[in-house]
Amino acid sequence: MSMSESSTESTALPPTLRAERRGDVAILTLTRADKRNALDDATVSGLERFFSAPPDGVRAVVLTGDGEHFSAGLDLTELSERDVFAGVEHSRSWHRAFERIEFGTVPVVAVLHGAVIGGGLELAAAAHIRVAERSAFYALPEASRAIFLGGGGTVRLPPLIGASRVMDMILTGRTLSAEDGQAIGLTHYLVDEGAGLAKGLEIAGRIAGNAPFTNYAVIQLLPRIARSDPAAGFATEALAAAIAQGEDEAKARLKAFLEKSGPKVARS
């Protein structure tokens, strides 16, 4: 049953977003294929609402797009009407929405194909895992349009691929293929055309099987520890480790392993 039939959360979504449920995984799809899933204000605010309060029982989200492209980025038709102050507020609204993805309550797997451009790449960078079909291509064409990144890309992309590569992408507008993206760590999983959603669901299903607190601690703490000084990082890690091991779920899973009923780690 789709969530639009079963819960009130998604009734608040704009028509450019569709939420569905597969057990404890939600699929959130950009549905504006006729405009190449360009991100307008209503869509960005819908993303913020969805990720601020994922439906009850959802333990991971797959984020994808209808049509030939994941997202052409910022809806350029909305740009001409903004003055400077409105532009700052607009960028901040994207920051709020994407912050709810990166630092939300559940891990997010982005499934990418076709254009992953500008704000579309900033959106993908806010997800925790990226699956790319071979058609996916990444670009930051802001400079050629005489604008600037505004969806958090200057913050989120450098830790992923290095400030120097982001500099090159912005200044030259060059396009990276899904394979290029894999070589530099942007694409976590490279899959054949049409295989992205199945792979994304498989990964999300595995993630959903983790203890919710561990997933939460990973998405909340890992990026912050990576940006902090090591001494603060070690202290934060130690506290998280102690909290996690005190959870009933951890006790049960460790007991299961010691009693030979828990899973072993398998070779890849």
The two three-digit tokens of residue 260, written as one number: 């030979």
CB of 252 to ligand 1HE, least distance (A): 44
In terms of Cβ atoms closer than 10 Å to its own Cβ (0-12, 13-18, 19+), residue 151 is buried
**What's CA 144's distance to the chain center, in Å?**
26
Contact call for residues 240 and 217 (beta carbons, < 8 A):
yes
Those residues with Cβ within 8 angstroms of residue 148's Cβ, 6 or more apart along the chain or in another chain: 142
48 binds ligand 1HE (CB under 6 A): no
Binding mask 81-100 for ligand 1HE (x = CB under 6 A): ----------x--x------
Among 9, 26, 30, 36, binds ligand 1HE (CB under 6 A): 36
Active site residue 5: no
Residue range at the interface with ligand 1HE (CB under 6 A); choices 30-38, 52-60, 167-175, 239-247: 30-38
Residue of 243, 33, 145 whose CA lies nearest to 15: 33
CB of 263 to ligand 1HE, least distance (A): 42
Beta pairing partners, 115? 137
Q: Which is nearer to ligand 1HE, 91 or 220 (CB)?
A: 91
User: Contact residues for ligand 1HE (CB under 6 A)?
Assistant: 35-36, 38, 68-69, 72-77, 91, 94, 115, 117-119, 141-142, 145, 147, 149-151
Catalytic residues: 122, 142
